[in-house]
Amino acid sequence: MNIDYTGQRVKMVDCQVRTTDVTDLAIISAMLDIPREEFVPAKSKALAYIDEDIALTEHGAGPRRYLMESSPFAKLVQLAEIQPTDVVLDVGCATGYSSAVLSRLSSQVIAVESDSELARIATEKLAELGCDNVAVVEGALQEGCATEAPYDVIILEGSVSAVPQSLFDQLKEEGRLVVVEGFGNAGKARIYLKTGSKVTGRYAFNAAIKPLPGFEIARGFEF
């Protein structure tokens, strides 16, 4: 079956991205350019441009991971206001689609992934597409990548219960961190700005996206 992936990309941008107030032409251009179908399992290629999260891993092999739905992804990226000179930390890059898009917007992307197989796929796919300004680092997502810090922008590719201090510590002065806090319909996209030693945040929009592993809040003892 021959699928017109280029046509599907155009429809994705026109019907899923532009219609949700994403107006940044650089983001739109990047999402038209990056072949989303290359970052999903072979059995899911025909579904690469549907308006839903796409499973990247199977049940039973650790926390299930997903490629984020295009609309909330684009809105989070637009919220970060990435500049061509920015260095970006992409937390939870999975197979690398998000990092490929971010590579078109910034000077350098450090892509952190905790799943070794996903990190391997991301490294291969990004190399195939010539995303030479992306480095994939395998490690715990909640720890970020302190060795390459500080960053102008940090973006988390899934929802979390709370952002750990370790990630805020990796922001540059005037650096931005964008994230969805909370799960399901309770998810809220927020942007944090670092000024001096102080980090302030504000609500941006509602977003229901799949969670990232490793950011769960440990429960204390209850009597």
For the chain, first and last CA: distance in Å?
A: 61
Note the pLDDT of residue 220: 46
Decide: 130 and 109 in contact? Cβ < 8 Å.
no
**Which helix or strand (DSSP H or E) is residue 144 part of?**
none
Determine phi and psi for 206, rounding to 5 degrees.
Answer: -80, 145
* Cβ-based neighbour number of residue 18 at 10 Å: 14
Note the pLDDT of residue 58: 82
Residue-range domains of the chain with CATH: 5-206 (3.40.50.150)
| pLDDT tens-place string over residues 73-118 | 999 999 999 999 999 999 999 999 999 999 999 999 999 999 999 9
Decide: 155 and 207 in contact? Cβ < 8 Å.
no
Note the pLDDT of residue 221: 44
Note the pLDDT of residue 223: 43
Max CA separation in the chain (angstroms): 62
Catalytic position from the list 70, 99, 103, 106: 70
Q: Which residues of the chain have pLDDT under 50?
A: 220-223
Alpha-helix residue ranges (DSSP H) falling in the chain = 5-12, 25-33, 70-80, 97-103, 116-128, 165-168
Q: Which residues contact 125 (CB under 8 A, 6 or more apart)?
A: 38, 39, 95, 96, 100
Note the pLDDT of residue 136: 98
How are beta strands 87-91 and 108-113 bridged, if at all? parallel
Is 116 a known active-site residue? no
pTM above 0.85, yes or no: yes
